[in-house]
Structure 1
Amino acid sequence: MAEQQQDQDNPITQSPFELRLPPDRVRALIEGRDSDPFAVLGPHSVAGGWRVVAMDFGAREMSIATVEGVFPMQPVAGADGLFACFLPEPMPYLLRGTDGETEWEHEDPYRFGPVLGQIDEYLIGEGTHHQLWKALGAHVISHQGVRGTHFSVWAPNARRVAVLGDFNNWDARRHGMRRRGTTGVWEIFIPNIGNGSPYKFSITGAHGEPLPEKADPVGFGAEHPPATASVVRNLAGHKWSDDQWMQTRSEAQNIKAPISIYEVHLGSWRRVADDDNRPLSYLEHARDLIPYVKDMGFTHLELLPVSEFPFDGSWGYQPVGLYAPTIRFGTPEEFRSLVEAAHEAGIGVLLDWVPGHFPSDAHGLARFDGTALYEHADPREGFHQDWNTLIYNYGRREVSNYLTANALYWLQEYHVDGLRVDAVASMLYRDYSRKDGEWVPNIHGGRENLEAIEFLRGVNTVAYGEVPGIMTVAEESTAFPGVSRPVDAGGLGFGFKWNMGWMNDTLSYIQHEPVHRSHHHNQLTFGLVYAFSENFILPISHDEVVHGKGSMIEKMPGDVWQKFANLRAYYGFMWTHPGKKLLFMGCEFAQWKEWNHDASLDWHLLDDPRHKGVQSLIRDLNNLYRELPALHRRDNVPEGFSWIEGGAAQESILAYARYGEDGDAPVVAVCNFTPVPRHGWRVGLPRDGKWKLRLNSDAGVYGGSNMPTTPVTTADGDAWHGYDQSALIDLPPLSVLIYEAV
């Protein structure tokens, strides 16, 4: 009776010599429509032993090789490619096949049990699997004593999922996956598949409809675009040598530290002209870029998105493979080498991270399992009109988990030191760039995207809580309160926020002819009204030198000499203004052309002393900024700044003091934004005694006029500008002077 029940429970009606399956089940198997191939294929306990069913469409004959001998398999009647045999007891085996001319032997993927455990299933279902990438994706492992790759993907509304690759001739009928409970996760272990193997998922929708082949949402590698398959990449085994940096990086990344960021697009920083103008690889960037960043005095390197993306023109801001460093410059292991080289040089690495939207490419996340899985179904919530992209459904716990885990993935697997989150404003507001009627209010009838707000708070809480010493940065252009305030204080929890208002105002000011600047003086001073409301970074980013905006040097008015002088003065103002610094590549040597993502920077310009001078100025500003505590320790508090003269609009002069902590010497910056020299200009100083000129943007070494100035002045004059003492100084045209109390 027990044997009869066992037989009824198994979909196979068996005897030692024949196999009978319902015809519809046979057709589903051989046509690649069966949603549970593990219920039929592989070994199954039956009365008197074990039945093994195998599928191989290229075989005329098949057999099973075991330590006990070779067992011939019988073809299943009416099912070409399906074979079965009976084993007296469970045992490891290999499948052997022949087409009459060629013989082959391989492991049977259907003889292997599940890999994912119950804890993985529970955490995935709960949306709290912070190391999701260790459960999903393609992992090279040993399973039941055999080396191969475990594939796992979330597709809860799919009827069937299979793995495609060179290993099965991209045949969707083979390697159908096992569904794991109610989590919506599918998995299979495929023996003898290893590092470098391309693959995709074949997904059948809930109603049996075939879907476009999909790349792995948690794939660790990808093919070179325009090819779209994922690639198996083994992440295990890297031995990091950056312990010293990792243990001390918090000292270089807190609000009191000097943070000066060099923003880089890896595809166009430098190209190899004699090799088809190709961009440098990760390893070549480690060799060339990192020493340059260090020599220039920058503390951090920020990379435009490196997550795999299909379209070069998106610069990486429309990623498809969030877990895959783009293959354009090398493998994941080589990207790790770039990060490691930066750390060995004492340079932090920040990545631009894009959790705000994703492209609608057919091989990507869009309608991944035939439904709006990662995105909203309603385009009023799920479609970005500006970028023709899809918006993540942050209210779905699995989607929020997917993105949160991705942030941790870069921080943990690649030792990245921080994430700059792109387009935060577009995430915070449901009506972002939409007209009335084109958006859906939140549950309270408001415009705030409550789910995105909670997601951002959660990401920052988890990132800072689980990865010591990191920093997160928001590119956020509105007045949303508390972006860089702790979550427990009602903020979003970012460490820093880009000061977009400062950038827009000051760039607008500096583009005016000097004769008109007196009417726009407030554009330089207004930033100090709110300068300490957030932990700000002052950004001159890639967005300011592209799409017809002109390069930084082209923005400047006047003749060529005045253009360079204006730019040098602007940089002097920026480096002495409260806030951390960010400068896009090429801006540091005044490239004339707008940035072009398809071309190298114009490094030949450094043969011109004027461009070399601007580069030298940036280097010296960085070094001075790091050396003088008054320029960085109190960037985010009012006590770090005081106006000396903020109202000299007619003269277009600014003077202000910067302060560090007790015992730190104060610094005074005096800015002259007209081409008129100011001789004997009296400036109030916050301390008596001697003041040393530490930097003059008009110096000859920077390409300036080299107008004589006093290298050391003494604050022994009359009370002035609200201070008890003052000094007379000479202000060169279009210049910034930086004095330190000595």
Structure 2
Amino acid sequence: MAKTQSGWQVSGTDISQVVAGQHDNPFSVLGLHQIDRAWAARAFVPGAQTLEAFDLSGKSLGVLEQRHDAGFFEGQISVSDRQPIRYRASNEGGEWDVIDPYAFGPVLGPMDDYYIGEGSHLRLSDKLGAHFMTFEGVEGTHFAVWAPNARRVSVVGSFNDWDGRRHVMRKRMETGIWEIFVPNVRPGAQYKYEIIGKDGTRLPLKADPFAQQSELRPKTASVVADPAPFDWTDGAYCTERKQRDYRREAMSIYEVHLGSWRRRPDGTFLSYDQLAEQLIPYVADLGFTHIELLPITEHPFDPSWGYQPTGLYAPTARFGDPAGFARFVDAAHNAGLGVLLDWVPAHFPTDEHGLARFDGTALYEHEDPRQGYHPDWNTAIYNFGRKEVSSYLTNNALYWLEKFHLDGLRVDAVASMLYLDYSRKQGEWVPNQHGGNENIEAIAFLQRVNAETYGQEAGTFTVAEESTSWGGVTAPTYAKGLGFGFKWNMGFMNDTLRYMQRDPVHRRFHHNDLTFGLLYAFSENFILPLSHDEVVHGKGSLLTKMAGDDWQKFANLRAYYAFMWGYPGKKLLFMGQEFAQREEWNEATALDWWLLDAPAHEGVRRLVSDLNAVYRELPALHARDCEPEGFEWIIANDHANSIIAWARHAPDSPPVVVISNFTPVPRTPYRMPMPAAGRWIERINTDAGWYSGSNIGNQGVINATEGNEYGYPATAEIVLPPLSTLILQFDPG
């Protein structure tokens, strides 16, 4: 730094650069500096005409001289050591106080630099972003952001008139992180980062990648979050879940888009608290075990449903503040419901305030569009091989699980991460180092996320939305698997829905659509998903997919649900399908709740409730969902009648038999093998009048007699209603 002949005074060049916001190291100029046993104070306070320095007790330390009429002041003051300085500024309009941000040392330390540089820091959400704190005796907010290729980074906001010259940040050269502690900035303050690229270009103002709160769209600023710890009341629930083996427990998931489940009479969104009051009791009453939320990470565009987030650490402001979301999760846990979050680490939108070319370079994404651009969604793909990016996302996963007590993460679009040629033609992708199409860096990232999740947050789990036959998605990472707890069974969904759309007269020729899935049903830990993806973009609702007239559509849907609840694998159903929503899902409006006034729709809701109850009550239906020992074929090849049946088993539990008749013809009686002789209770009959069916059945009980020509232990003659599924429980007496 150049000095004037006075020795302690800075040069006019330094002053001009500070005033213009172009100095590359303002901490070397501004603040307190000891020179030849004396202390010089320098400050840039735009609008001030006079400036007097005080210590925090109110003692005057001296008056500074104005060196530039834009508000640059300098002077020697009476201090014996480095300390916070409060300035009293004045002009013809009055006086105001300013605590000098450049009088404070760095908040981050060398160990942060070491672990951040190594890519192994697991508490980044505590270090980066905006954190209200007391530092060196002064309340304020510490800001820190990663922008290694920037020439200059400033924090701007409601506290400095969005003036990028006032709070230029200190660069930590080892990590490329910029930081500054700004006194008197309190929770609720809006802010962004003003970044000058290495070529001198001023970028569009950027939201904070680590912001824990954001403004309500269409505004895009980050918000300093309230650091007050939330008063959780779910301790017993969180302790108990650590003992669970979710593979061997009932898991029935209700998938929800919070913005369109239900709305206020004026069409506006319910708040997190209102959703806690209405959604949670509804889901608990239906007997589901978990609520899965479409992404509630902050996002600018409603029709993206949250799958193009710009604020990965912030619960969306659409429904309230972060504490409101915490209250929602707390209420769910106290109702015995787990909460899963759809998490999107595969890609991010290119909105100018977001991560795209964050410091003027391809920082979070790949520079090469063959690697860094997603053609399906017009988004940018994360550079998983960059340790800082991997850490950013890994820390984000842990953040949601720890801070908001979430039970798990459903990871979106895993297939697009695993394959370098996903949705790309020849020549549009870059092979890996071995010439293959596997994304080695994304694989390593997913393994890291899963290993850290299961290692750090006991009792939580991860789910992969993976639509290909990639092997070992749910195998542990030590066995070279991806390490997920569960995988969505997209094959089951596609095959069985295709079957249900066919006219029953043709189903005999497509019986393999029902049986093929059992060839691989135990190759992974599967969840059977009837998700939002099946009821959008012209696909219609599940009800309208069913074949036949209106009566047959309802009968088909009821039979299909019971078939699915009896099939090995955990269950997932998108909101509205539990009462047979007729219209396909529209994120801009609430569900058609008035349909529940119609008996057929109410009948489907009753069935789903009863299916969940039976599924949870009978271990045979859930305790061996992921193991072949829990499944036994009874009838796999009755193509002619479109009938299929199997038994489900669990240790120390009576067996259960599931039989589906997928034609509108009643079979009275239908002679079939059974796993045991004796009394079988009809726990579910989807044709029951209670569900608005035709009420054909077995009067609740079936008796199986010993012996069977095919080698089974017993035989029964059963009434199979039209387009129905029966679930029978053995009564050992």
Superposition TM-score, scaled by structure 2 size: 0.98
User: Matches of 2:484 and 2:37 in 1, distance apart?
Assistant: 64
Aligned partner of 2:461 in structure 1 is: 471
- Paired residues of 2:193 and 2:206 also in contact (CA < 8 A): yes
Amino acid aligned to 1:226 = P
- Paired residues of 1:180 and 1:186 also in contact (CA < 8 A): yes
Whether 1:266 and 2:255 are equivalent positions in the alignment is no
Amino acid aligned to 1:459 = V
User: Matches of 1:309 and 1:14 in 2, distance apart?
Assistant: 55
- 2:214 pairs with 216, 222, 228, which one? 222
Aligned partner of 2:124 in structure 1 is: 132
Whether 1:47 and 2:36 are equivalent positions in the alignment is yes
Aligned partner of 1:365 in structure 2 is: 355
Alignment of 1:92-241 (within 5 A): 92-241=84-233
User: Matches of 1:720 and 1:184 in 2, distance apart?
Assistant: 76
- 2:677 pairs with 680, 688, 710, which one? 688
User: Matches of 1:350 and 1:330 in 2, distance apart?
Assistant: 19
Name the stretch that deviates more: 88-97 or 382-391: 88-97
User: Matches of 2:294 and 2:454 in 1, distance apart?
Assistant: 22
Aligned partner of 2:613 in structure 1 is: 623
- 1:219: Cα distance to partner? 0.4
Whether 1:530 and 2:520 are equivalent positions in the alignment is yes
Alignment of 1:529-608 (within 5 A): 529-608=519-598
Aligned partner of 1:657 in structure 2 is: 647
Aligned partner of 2:696 in structure 1 is: 707
- Paired residues of 1:48 and 1:88 also in contact (CA < 8 A): no
- 1:79: Cα distance to partner? 5.4
User: Matches of 1:106 and 1:348 in 2, distance apart?
Assistant: 47
Q: Which runs of 5+ in 2 are unaligned?
A: none
User: Matches of 1:353 and 1:68 in 2, distance apart?
Assistant: 53
Whether 1:633 and 2:623 are equivalent positions in the alignment is yes
Amino acid aligned to 1:94 = R
Alignment of 1:444-523 (within 5 A): 444-523=434-513
Name the stretch that deviates more: 60-69 or 95-104: 60-69
Helix, strand or coil for the counterpart of 2:89?
Answer: strand
Helix, strand or coil for the counterpart of 1:669?
Answer: strand
User: Matches of 1:465 and 1:708 in 2, distance apart?
Assistant: 50
- 1:359: Cα distance to partner? 0.3
User: Matches of 2:585 and 2:245 in 1, distance apart?
Assistant: 28
Aligned partner of 1:698 in structure 2 is: 687
- 1:717: Cα distance to partner? 5.2
Distance 1:291 1:720, change over 3 A: farther
Aligned partner of 2:726 in structure 1 is: 737
Amino acid aligned to 2:459 = G
- Paired residues of 1:656 and 1:670 also in contact (CA < 8 A): yes
Name the stretch that deviates more: 452-461 or 711-720: 711-720
CA RMSD of aligned residues (A): 1.3
Name the stretch that deviates more: 701-710 or 143-152: 701-710
User: Matches of 1:491 and 1:708 in 2, distance apart?
Assistant: 46
- Paired residues of 2:84 and 2:136 also in contact (CA < 8 A): no
- Paired residues of 2:671 and 2:716 also in contact (CA < 8 A): yes
- Paired residues of 2:620 and 2:653 also in contact (CA < 8 A): yes
- Paired residues of 2:450 and 2:482 also in contact (CA < 8 A): yes
Amino acid aligned to 1:239 = D
> 1:514-553: per-residue Cα shift (whole Å, max 9, x none)?
0111111100100000000000000000000000000011
Helix, strand or coil for the counterpart of 2:573?
Answer: strand
- Paired residues of 2:487 and 2:525 also in contact (CA < 8 A): yes
- 1:292: Cα distance to partner? 0.7
Helix, strand or coil for the counterpart of 1:324?
Answer: strand
Aligned partner of 1:437 in structure 2 is: 427
Distance 1:14 1:702, change over 3 A: farther
Helix, strand or coil for the counterpart of 1:295?
Answer: helix
- 1:336: Cα distance to partner? 0.4
Aligned partner of 2:364 in structure 1 is: 374
Helix, strand or coil for the counterpart of 1:564?
Answer: helix
Whether 1:342 and 2:360 are equivalent positions in the alignment is no
- 1:609 pairs with 591, 595, 599, which one? 599
- 1:181: Cα distance to partner? 2.8
- Paired residues of 2:654 and 2:730 also in contact (CA < 8 A): yes
Helix, strand or coil for the counterpart of 2:654?
Answer: coil
Aligned partner of 1:38 in structure 2 is: 27
User: Matches of 2:709 and 2:397 in 1, distance apart?
Assistant: 52
User: Matches of 2:357 and 2:568 in 1, distance apart?
Assistant: 46
Aligned partner of 2:63 in structure 1 is: 72
Helix, strand or coil for the counterpart of 1:482?
Answer: coil
Amino acid aligned to 2:183 = P
- Paired residues of 1:259 and 1:299 also in contact (CA < 8 A): yes
User: Matches of 2:244 and 2:304 in 1, distance apart?
Assistant: 31
Amino acid aligned to 1:665 = P
User: Matches of 1:722 and 1:184 in 2, distance apart?
Assistant: 72
Identity %: 57
Aligned partner of 2:656 in structure 1 is: 667
Name the stretch that deviates more: 203-212 or 428-437: 203-212
- 1:110: Cα distance to partner? 0.9
Helix, strand or coil for the counterpart of 1:728?
Answer: strand
- 1:207: Cα distance to partner? 2.0
Helix, strand or coil for the counterpart of 1:167?
Answer: coil
User: Matches of 1:694 and 1:720 in 2, distance apart?
Assistant: 27
Name the stretch that deviates more: 389-398 or 93-102: 93-102
User: Matches of 1:657 and 1:320 in 2, distance apart?
Assistant: 48
Amino acid aligned to 1:392 = Y
Helix, strand or coil for the counterpart of 2:650?
Answer: coil
- Paired residues of 1:141 and 1:150 also in contact (CA < 8 A): yes
- 1:48: Cα distance to partner? 3.5
User: Matches of 1:740 and 1:288 in 2, distance apart?
Assistant: 34
Aligned partner of 1:5 in structure 2 is: none
User: Matches of 1:192 and 1:451 in 2, distance apart?
Assistant: 42
Amino acid aligned to 1:556 = M
Whether 1:414 and 2:420 are equivalent positions in the alignment is no
Amino acid aligned to 2:530 = I
Whether 1:291 and 2:316 are equivalent positions in the alignment is no
- Paired residues of 1:251 and 1:257 also in contact (CA < 8 A): no
User: Matches of 1:724 and 1:196 in 2, distance apart?
Assistant: 70
Helix, strand or coil for the counterpart of 2:487?
Answer: strand
User: Matches of 1:232 and 1:107 in 2, distance apart?
Assistant: 19
User: Matches of 1:481 and 1:394 in 2, distance apart?
Assistant: 21
> 1:285-327: per-residue Cα shift (whole Å, max 9, x none)?
1111111110000000000001101110100000110000000
- Paired residues of 2:687 and 2:697 also in contact (CA < 8 A): no
Amino acid aligned to 2:225 = R
> 1:590-617: per-residue Cα shift (whole Å, max 9, x none)?
0000000010011111011110000000
Helix, strand or coil for the counterpart of 1:272?
Answer: coil
User: Matches of 1:414 and 1:537 in 2, distance apart?
Assistant: 24
Aligned partner of 1:723 in structure 2 is: 712
User: Matches of 1:345 and 1:146 in 2, distance apart?
Assistant: 42
Amino acid aligned to 1:286 = A
- Paired residues of 1:683 and 1:720 also in contact (CA < 8 A): no
Alignment of 1:243-262 (within 5 A): 243-252=235-244, 254-262=246-254
User: Matches of 2:536 and 2:571 in 1, distance apart?
Assistant: 20
Amino acid aligned to 2:388 = E
> 1:42-73: per-residue Cα shift (whole Å, max 9, x none)?
11111241100011111111111234425221
Amino acid aligned to 2:241 = R
